[in-house]
Amino acid sequence: MRSLPGGCSAGVEPPEKRSGKSLGAQMLGERGPQRGLFEADTMYLKFVGQNTFYGFLATHRGELFRDEDFAALYSLKMGRPSVPPSLLATALVLQAYDHASDEEARQRAAYDLRWKVALGIELDAEPFAKSTLWEFRAQLILQEEQGAIFRQSVELAKRKGFFKGKRKLKVALDTTNILGRGAVKDTYNLLADGIVLVLRALAKQASEELETCAERTGFGPYVQGSSVKGQAEIDWNDTQARRAFLAEVVADADRVLELVRQARSTLTADSPEDRALSEAAGLLSRVLQQDIERRDDGPALGEGVAKDRMPAIHDPEVRHGRKSKRKRFDGHKGQFAVDTESQLITAADVVAGNAPDNTGALSLVEATESATDCAVEETIGDCAYGDGATRQQFADAQRTLIAKTATVTNQGRFPKTQFVIDLDLQQCICPAHQLTTDFRPSAKGGGVFHFPASGCGACPLRDQCVRNATGGRTVQVHPQEALIQAARAFQSSPEFRPYRAARQVVEHRIARLVQLGIRQARYVGIAKTRFQLLLAAAVANLTRIASATEAAVTVPLPAEPSGTSIWRPITLLRGLQAALSAVSGNDASPPRAPTASPYLVQRSLKLATCRPDF
Identify whether 36 is part of a domain: yes
**575 lies in the same domain as 453:** no
**How far, CA to CA in Å, does 118 sit from each of 45, 133, 516, 600?**
9, 16, 19, 22
Q: List strands edge to edge, sheet with 435-436.
A: 420-422, 427-429, 435-436
Distance of CA 181 to the CA centre of its chain: 13
Q: What is the pLDDT of residue 79?
A: 74
Burial class (CB in 10 A: 0-12, 13-18, 19+), 350: buried
- Supply the DSSP string of 409-464, one letter for each residue: --TTS--GGGSEEETTTTEEE-TT--EE--EEE-TTS-EEEE--HHHHHT-TTGGG
Q: Is the dihedral of CA 573, 576, 581, 584 positive or negative?
A: negative
Contact 321, 153 (CB under 8 A): no
127 Cβ partners below 8 Å, 6+ apart?
9, 10, 11, 12, 83, 87, 91, 109, 110, 119, 121
Q: What is the pLDDT of residue 2?
A: 38
Please give the Cα distance from 184 to 170 (Å, whole number). Answer: 39
- Supply the DSSP string of 493-541, one letter for each residue: SGGGHHHHHHHHHHHHHHHHHHHTTTTB-SSSSHHHHHHHHHHHHHHHH
Domain span at residue 214?
187-301
Please give the Cα distance from 34 to 50 (Å, whole number). Answer: 19
Domain final position from 145, 168, 198: 145
Identify whether 560 is part of a domain: no
**111 lies in the same domain as 227:** no
**131 lies in the same domain as 198:** no
**37 lies in the same domain as 139:** yes
**113 lies in the same domain as 194:** no
Stretches where the chain sits below pLDDT 50 are 1-25, 551-568, 583, 585-601, 603-614
**98 lies in the same domain as 193:** no
Identify whether 470 is part of a domain: yes
**200 lies in the same domain as 127:** no
Identify whether 342 is part of a domain: no
**122 lies in the same domain as 191:** no
Identify whether 109 is part of a domain: yes
Contact 449, 477 (CB under 8 A): yes
The alpha carbon torsion through 272, 278, 284, 286 (nearest 10 deg) reads -130
- Total domains present in the chain: 4
Please give the Cα distance from 169 to 220 (Å, whole number). Answer: 61
**131 lies in the same domain as 41:** yes
Domain final position from 276, 301, 326: 301
pTM: 0.83
Please give the Cα distance from 291 to 304 (Å, whole number). Answer: 9
Distance of CA 218 to the CA centre of its chain: 42
Domain final position from 452, 479, 506: 479
Please give the Cα distance from 155 to 141 (Å, whole number). Answer: 20
Q: What is the pLDDT of residue 572?
A: 52
Please give the Cα distance from 327 to 350 (Å, whole number). Answer: 19
Q: What is the pLDDT of residue 29?
A: 80
Identify whether 545 is part of a domain: no
Identify whether 125 is part of a domain: yes
DSSP 122: B
Please give the Cα distance from 180 to 310 (Å, whole number). Answer: 12
**127 lies in the same domain as 243:** no
Q: How many residues does the chain have?
A: 614
Q: What is the pLDDT of residue 560?
A: 44
Please give the Cα distance from 408 to 412 (Å, whole number). Answer: 11
Please give the Cα distance from 135 to 113 (Å, whole number). Answer: 25
**224 lies in the same domain as 108:** no
Identify whether 584 is part of a domain: yes
